[in-house]
Amino acid sequence: MEERRILLAVTGGIAAYKTPELVRALRRAGHAVRCAMTRAAAEFVSPLALQTVSGHAVRSALFDAAEEGQIDHIALADWAELVIVAPATAHSLARFAAGLADDLVSTVVLATRAPLLLAPAMNVNMWRHPATAHNVAVLSERGAHWVGPDAGELACGWEGEGRMSDPARIAERANELLGPRDFAGVRVLVTAGGTREPIDSVRYVGNRSSGRMGFAVAEEAAARGADVTVIAANVSLPRADGVRYEDVETAAQLEEAARRHFPDADVLVMAAAVADFRPPAAEGTKLSKTGRDALELRLEPTTDVLAALSAERRPGQTLVGFAAEHGPEGVERARGKLERKGLDAVVVNDISREDIGFDSGDNEVTIVTAAGERPLAKAPKAEIARAIVDLVEEVRHERRPA
């Protein structure tokens, strides 16, 4: 693999003694590694040992003039393409879940925009405790990735889950998350969120799309080297470094932005929930309820943006649409959409379920292509995004000359 930048954050558990071997495994894979550690971690592994195997001074203090002179803690957070916390103790998971930032490691974890890979290590009863389970759920919802813990004999004498995964497995998981740079130089346009069509000065016709799925696709493509632009319709999510964002509100604004960016795009992923209908014109003031027994609202159809763009596609462009459907019949309807609009793939969301899709960190979809259906089991949206980008790469690969 090409060299990538990995920050290893070591917290105070007995498994910290394995971290020099983890650094060696990451460096054997060709990566640049820097280390940060808590004061408690230094009780289990020598900073000098980590410095020797990484080739860089080890950071441990948040307020140390000498260390800040080398590279300040925010620059360290920005430098990393992946942050690994190994071992991740029960205490550190609680701190990360609470958003604390009063030591170097917790501050870097809070400040970084890089993916976070956690390798838990603790007593089995601590791992099974409801507080730890809650913290794991909170961090997973925020997009954290996990490796382990493994089950077996623990340093404390107990048997069960809580062993930190072997350094080789953690390094393997890191390589999976870093992924290939197979989208280097590819221009990807993603639409995300849901449009709002104004009724009057305060009310609108809208939908529940949060934009999480589109943002996850954009971040996955960017992590694999793509030049990514996101057209975000009313999305209030954090913005990733290295991705350009253009905010819009209405279907007309989204259409205008998409038409402007589409000619230069190699890939379009239309994840936004664009309104099918809108009021012909919005009232300039707030409609009053006084004196009204009822309010009739007339709606007109909006432009089918994806169909319009597909009609203008140039050779070599890859187009992926999304379909929000109720129930299993949605896959067949998506196939009609695939053929009617001339798309390469349609990602079908079953919006009849409350545990996936809108406002959820998880999704379960079926990707429909001309070759068939590809069901994806329920998983975090980051994993669904990875599968979608993998599919795009397959389509692009098939079109390349032999």
Residues annotated catalytic, as ranges: 156
Compute the distance between CA of residue 210 and CA of residue 218 in angstroms, rounded to an integer. Answer: 14
Compute the distance between CA of residue 248 and CA of residue 18 in angstroms, rounded to an integer. Answer: 49
* Residue-by-residue DSSP string for 297-339: ---EEPP-HHHHHHHTPPTT-EEEEEEEESSTTHHHHHHHHHH
Compute the distance between CA of residue 195 and CA of residue 127 in angstroms, rounded to an integer. Answer: 42
The 10 Å CB-count burial string (b at 16+, else e) for 382-391 is: bbbbbbbbeb
Structure-block tokens of residue 41: 């971690």
In terms of Cα–Cα distance, which of 203, 195, 375 is closest to 273? 195
With 0-12 / 13-18 / 19 or more C-beta atoms within 10 angstroms meaning exposed / middle / buried, residue 27 is: middle
Structure-block tokens of residue 402: 């032999």
Residue spans of alpha helices (H) in 197-320: 212-223, 251-261, 305-311
In terms of Cα–Cα distance, which of 349, 342, 251 is closest to 299? 251
SS3 state of residue 141: helix
The CA angle 21-170-103, to the nearest 5 degrees, is 80
Neighbours of 264 (CB within 10 A): 10
Compute the distance between CA of residue 13 and CA of residue 27 in angstroms, rounded to an integer. Answer: 23
